[in-house]
Amino acid sequence: MTSSYQQQLDAKVERISAQFAEYQPPALEVFESPEQYYRMRAEFRIWHTEDDLFYAMFERDENNNKRVIRINEFPVADRSINDLMPQLLEAFKADATLGHRLFEVHFLATLKGEVLVSLIYHRKLDESWEPAAKALAEKLKIKLIGRSRGQKFVLSDEFVVEELSVFDRKYQYKQIESSFTQPNAQVCQKMLEWACNVAQQSDKDLLELYCGNGNFTLPLSTRFRRALATELAKSSVYAAEWNIEQNGIDNIQVARLSAEEFTQAFNGDRTFRRLQEANIDLSTYDFDTVFVDPPRAGIDDETLKLLQRFERIIYISCNPDTLHDNLKQLSQTHKITKFALFDQFPYTHHVESGVLLEKR
């Protein structure tokens, strides 16, 4: 396992170094993943036969036909998920109320030890399901949600609370079922520390676009006078505000705006009632750094123009191709002064990378 992990990581380093060579970045900083038990989320189909049911995933053969792969253990996922898998399967087999027409099982785990399990059914859940599910949740000490078409049973909470360590401080994060969270929590902690290190310490303000649940916002706020974070998804804004309050941080405001909408507001092209309702006055901010962690599609042209107005840009990317494309514009005004690879997704071709860009 060790040699294969190192080989795949070396291949990623070689590929990313070659891909970005034209921008003349500094030496690539490489942040490794644990080789096993690193993924905090996992989703499995439940495959039913005449006398059995089991966790399943699929792979395609050379003719593009799907083949069912029986999953007895999953060392990619956190240990808590692996420990729960056989216990849940035993319960599904023993009680038809829980196992009948069960279609998928989704796990969301935390380093703190909390686990949320979502059971998705291809049948209407009747009144017998809830007491059976509650008994199972209490026995296994997990949070449990049941779903079928038009139904959602939340037995306790529809979230877990994660705890991430950044240098000598621990941050609590509400992570809501079906919302985006970083899948590799141990590498995520390395990303947070890297971002704080490259941000250094500023007596000015931070702008963050695409803030999600405030994953980066919370630790980065310690490096700035104030931070303004933007996010469009209501559930993520709600989680971010909960996280800010839970961690006792008082220098962050969250605006429910897309990156494009913030650009319009910042340029004075449009006024937004959402800013007024959140008591956010953009004229009171003195930004010198912008932090972005955009979706795989990258950043639109108007937002790229906005980024070019800042002294420093910290850009975390889950897609090196769109990062490379965005740098065509950003490198006209900024130079890469830090360059990092975070192995969030071992044994896959996916790469998470980070750059610090400073104005030329």
d(CA 178, CA 1): 31
Catalytic residue from among 188, 196, 318, 358: 318
d(CA 145, CA 335): 48
Burial class (CB in 10 A: 0-12, 13-18, 19+), 55: buried
Edge-to-edge strands, sheet with 205-209:
29-31, 334-342, 352-359, 312-317, 287-292, 205-209, 226-230, 252-255
What is the residue whose two structure tokens read 């017998």? 128
Longest CA pairwise span in the chain (Å): 68
The annotation status of 215 as a binding-site residue, yes or no, is yes
What is the residue whose two structure tokens read 């096993």? 36
The annotation status of 300 as a binding-site residue, yes or no, is no
Q: Identify whether 50 is a catalytic site residue.
A: no
The annotation status of 311 as a binding-site residue, yes or no, is no
CB contact at 8 A, 163 and 188: no
Catalytic residue from among 177, 241, 261, 352: 352
The annotation status of 10 as a binding-site residue, yes or no, is no
The annotation status of 171 as a binding-site residue, yes or no, is no
Tell me 23's DSSP state.
G
Burial class (CB in 10 A: 0-12, 13-18, 19+), 7: exposed
Q: Identify whether 196 is a catalytic site residue.
A: no
Q: How far does the chain reach from its first CA to its final CA, in angstroms?
A: 44
Q: How far is CA 99 from CA 46, 138, 139, 183, 334, in A?
A: 9, 17, 17, 27, 56
Among all residues, which ones are annotated catalytic? 318, 352
Which residue ranges are tagged as binding site? Answer: 182, 210, 215, 231, 293
Which residue ranges are tagged as binding site for S-adenosyl-L-methionine? Answer: 182, 210, 215, 231, 293
